[in-house]
Structures are given as structure tokens and as C-alpha cells.
Amino acid sequence: MGSDPISGGTGPVRLSSGPMSANRNAAIIGWGKCLPPAILSNADLATFLDTSDEWILTRTGIRERRVSHVPLSEIGYVAAMRALACAGVQGKDIELIVFGTTSYDDQVPNVASGIQRRIGADGCAAMDVNTACTSFLYSLSTATALIRTGVVKNALVIGAEIISPFMDWNDRNVAVLFGDGAAAVVLQATDSEEGLLAERLGCYGESREILRVHGMGAGYAHQGRILGKTEWQFEGQEIFKKAVHGMSMACAEALGKIGKTAADIDLVVPHQANLRIIEAVAKKAGVPMDRVFTNVDRYGNMSAATVPVALCEALEEGRVKPGALLLMPSFGGGLTFTGHVVRWGQRVTPLGSSDVNLPPNNRTALELVNKYRTIGQQRVVPA
């Protein structure tokens, strides 16, 4: 027995059934996050990079980030179980899993199928979505669309990344920015005006070369190199300009679709790439920073995980009120960009909790990173 995720009343949790109505939406009824315990500080980075806490903080707003001791699928699974417990539903009830990520454990089979098996959602649809840092929000759009059209009645949407194994730890420009993490939400069909109300999805494909990771993908297989030994093409100033323009434009267009303006927004939950980008987008959108949630100082850029982790923490801190109108902008490699407008429901506290946790870790974040640095210095000689 538990509270009804939609109405907030008591009684058994009921997943919707029956024909879809013309006004069917996809309410967010559960949420959960998973942050690896190992913390890599700016001071840690300064032990092997020409940098300092002041240099990183003034340019990015980042103080520390997490480094995972387990694979992507593990942190995604823990986040998923916490979201399910929060919603008061079981894995067997889920009809669709959409996993947003760009840092797969494996490309074949996909990560979502492993989550399906572990949560006991036998036979449900399972897909991965890769649009880099926007992957969670693209996944949210995908799952919402399938609920609106009646293909499924509910979905588990995950945004998770393990960037640390793919990082070029010798490149100060990117090594200071990224971290690992995961979060998930549970969606359920509803006739109420809840969930994703409007979005603008887009991509500056002509600028895709300004953010490129060489060493990930089939183009590097059997080429006499360690797959995953990367060099990052990262043109920071151009990325900044494109990110601010794309997110600001997407937010304005998404709000315009439903006749809203920035004044109607209760809280902005943006992609946490860089505090300076967040501040610039807020200014251009006309939203004061006291209505913008940030946690980039604690986690850095977790790519697809940033928005859902920020959403979970905004709820934990009481920043999301019942019925709140949320704005979620993001950008990523491609260069993809999004602006999502979400109406929150009445419930802002979990129905339950999960006892699933990550396996213990006995290494510091710096030890984990130094392992990657040592492996990255190895060379593979072509046969």
C-alpha cells in the first residue's frame, strides 16, 4: 500500500490503463540519483596539471567532481532503483526504458537492456539515446512522445555518464570540467497538465567539430591505438557562444509554444556545464539567478546526468514546489541544444526509498584517475 503518485492520496499504486485520451501527458512521479563517492578536488588536479583551485573556480565555478569506481550500468541501475522506489512502483511494471548517455559500457548490447534485466522489467522496450550532454532531455522527449501516442503507459528515463575513463587527463582545458554521475525519473500517463508541456530540440550540425572526442567510436577500432585513449577537440569560446545562443533561443521558443514567458517560470534547472554559461543564459532569458538551481560547483559537468541530478537535488532542497513550472535548457556535442518546459505535479517527496547501493570503494578519486593516466600513457604498436 502507498500513496497514489498522481493524486497524492493513500491506497495501492495504480499504473494507468485503458485507451489514451487526446490530452494525455507524462507526469514525473519518481526520481532518484546516484553519485559515486570518490571526490576529485581542484587541488587534486593541480598535482598533475598546471592549474590551481583559483584558476578553475574563476573560469568554471567548479570546486570538485566525482570519479566512479564502477561501470556506467551500475550507477544507472542504482539511480533507477531509487527512482522506482520514489514512485512507489516496481520494475516489472515498467513498459519502456530510455537510457541517455554518450559513455556506454558496451554499444552492443545497449545499456538500457542491462537495466531492464536488473530491475525485472521483463520484455519492456529498451533503448539508448546519445546526443551527448542533452541525452537525458532528448530521452525525456522520446519517452513522453511514446506515452502521449499510447505506445506505452509509463517509462523509466535515465541520464548517466562515466566520463573519467574517456578523459584526456593531460589536457587542462577539459580535464577540469567533467565528472561522473547518474539520475533517473519515472513517467506515467496522466490527463492532468503535468510533465513535459513543450520543448525545442535542435542542433548546430555545422559546428559539430568544435566539440569532438577523438578516440571514441568505430572510426578508431583496429587503428593501432587503445580504444578510449582520447584527444579532445574543445574550442571553449565558440562552444560558449553557441551554447548560450542555442539554449536561450530554445527556451524562448518552448515557452512561446504554450503562451508563457520567463516571468512564469518558478525555477530553471539547467545543464551544469559551466557557471559562466548558466549565468549568461539566465541573463539572456531574463531570469534572475535566485530562480536558477546550480550544483556545478559540487559535480562539474556530468554531461547527460547534470539536469536529472540537479532536478533531484532541487527537490531535496525544497526548491521545487507543487505545481511549479520548470525550465530545463541544455546543450551538448553535436552541437545539440534543448529547451524543455515541465509542469511539476503535487507530490514533491518520495513515496519510498531503495536499499540498493553501490559496492564499496577503497580508492581515492586521485588514485582512480592516476590509473587512467598510467594506462593512457601506454602505446599500442600496429601489427
- C-alpha cell belonging to residue 342: 515541465
Question: Residue 295 catalytic?
Answer: no
Nearest-angstrom CA–CA distance, 282 and 14: 39
Nearest-angstrom CA–CA distance, 12 and 351: 11
> By CB neighbour count within 10 A (0-12 exposed, 13-18 middle, 19+ buried), where does 123 fall?
exposed
| Amino acid in the structure at residue 92 | K
- Is 3:346 a contact under the CB 8 Å cutoff? no
Beta strands in the chain (DSSP E): 2-3, 10-11, 25-34, 39-41, 64-66, 96-100, 125-129, 154-161, 181-190, 195-203, 211-214, 231-234, 267-268, 325-332, 336-343
- C-alpha cell belonging to residue 353: 526509498
Question: Residue 133 catalytic?
Answer: yes
Nearest-angstrom CA–CA distance, 107 and 279: 35
Active-site annotation holder among 86, 124, 133, 203: 133
Nearest-angstrom CA–CA distance, 241 and 205: 15
Active-site annotation holder among 110, 130, 203, 271: 271
Active-site annotation holder among 130, 301, 312, 340: 301
Q: Which residues are catalytic?
A: 133, 271, 301
